[in-house]
Amino acid sequence: MNDTGSLGDDVQLLTLDVNGTSCEVITSPRRTLVDVLRHNLRLTGTHVGCEHGICGACTVLVDGLPVRACLMFAAQAEGKQLTTVESLADPGTGELNDLQRAFTEHHGLQCGFCTPGFLMLAQGFLTERPEATKEEIREVVAANLCRCTGYQTIVEAIDACATARRAQRAAGTEETSCN
């Protein structure tokens, strides 16, 4: 990674664990996590919407929990497990996971700019609270901004995914596509 940021003599070597892969990045200490993910590692699925932690377009998982990647320096992410939207689909076949499928089935996205943030928010939340009710899901969806959908179909998509996962667990089948 040769994007060293603006100051050639003030750089550091970071080792980041992104989607299970260890990545070395040489960058200036002031670069945010979202900029390093997007521009150094070319994982452009994580988007930048406000750079002040309100819109949530940059949401990624840090050690499994949703975090605004615009409010964190890349250096702060060393030693943590980072998960981005690129991790959701099957790496071999590209097949969408159940959450992604629910978004498309419920028309939970239009322009798609905020979508990776909502997907990671939901992925983190449902792992933490698989029993979440639709009302709880709506509360969590209120953490991020979407300008296209009016939110209803995002809530429905996440609720449908959660319901299906619960049904699968109840049926005793091991869910493998959404770990």
Partner 1 sequence: MRSAKDDRLVGRAVARREDPRLLTGHGRFVDDVELPGMLHAQFVRSTVAHAALAEVDLTQVRQVPGVVAAFTAMDLDLGDITAQLGRPLTEFVPTAMPVLARDRVRYVGEPIAIVVAIDAYAAEDGLEAAKVTYETLAPVTCEDQALAPGAPLVHEEATHNTLVDVSLFATEGIDEIFDNAPCVVRVEARTGRQNALPLETRGAVAHWDGREEQLVLHTCTQVPHQVRTVASRCLRLDERAVRVIVPDMGGGFGLKCVVGREEIATAAAALRLRRPVKWIEDRKDALSASFLAREQHYTARAAFDVDGRILGLDADVVCDMGAYSCYPFTAGIEPLMASAEMSGVYKVPAYRVRGRAITTNKAPTAPYRGVSRPQYVMVVERLMERAARALGLDPVEIRRRNIITEFPYTGVNNITYDPGSYLESLNLCEQALKEAGWYGRQAAARAEGRHIGIGYSCFSERTGYGSTAFAARKMEVVPGFDLAEARMDTSGAVTVTSGTISHGQSHETTMAQIVADALHVDIAKVKLHQGDTDRITYGWGTFASRSITVGGSAVRLAAAKLGDKLRAIAAAEWGIPPEETELDRGRVRRRDDPDAVLTHEHLAETAYLKSHLLPKDIDPGLTATAAFDVFNDGTFSNATHGVVVELHEGTGQVEILAYVCVEDCGVAINPQVVEGQCRGGIAQGIAGALFEQVTYDGQGEPSATSFMDYKVPTAHEIPEVTIHHLETPCAFTETGAKGAGEGGTIGAPAAVLNAVNDALRATRVELDNTPITPETVHRALTSPALEQTP
Binding site for partner 1 (CB under 8 A): 3, 5-7, 28, 30-31, 38-39, 42-52, 54-55, 57, 84-86, 88-89, 94, 96, 100, 103-105, 107, 109-116, 119, 138-139, 141-155
For residue 39, give both structure tokens.
Answer: 């521009």
Per the listing, tokens 């939901």 go with 122
Per the listing, tokens 């499994």 go with 64
CB nearer partner 1, residue 42 or residue 169: 42
CB nearer partner 1, residue 130 or residue 150: 150
CB nearer partner 1, residue 77 or residue 100: 100
Q: How far is the CB of 33 from partner 1 (least distance, A)?
A: 14
Per the listing, tokens 């309100």 go with 54
CB nearer partner 1, residue 9 or residue 174: 9
CB nearer partner 1, residue 145 or residue 178: 145
| 148: Cα separation from own chain's centroid | 19
3-state secondary structure 53-82: CCCCCCEEEECCEEEECCCCEHHHHCCCEE
Beta bridge partners of 60: 67
Q: How far is the CB of 64 from partner 1 (least distance, A)?
A: 18
Q: How far is the CB of 15 from partner 1 (least distance, A)?
A: 22
CB contact set of 104 (below 8 Å; sequence gap of 6+): 96
Q: How far is the CB of 85 from partner 1 (least distance, A)?
A: 4
- Determine contact, residues 31/25, Cβ cutoff 8 Å: no
Q: How far is the CB of 170 from partner 1 (least distance, A)?
A: 26
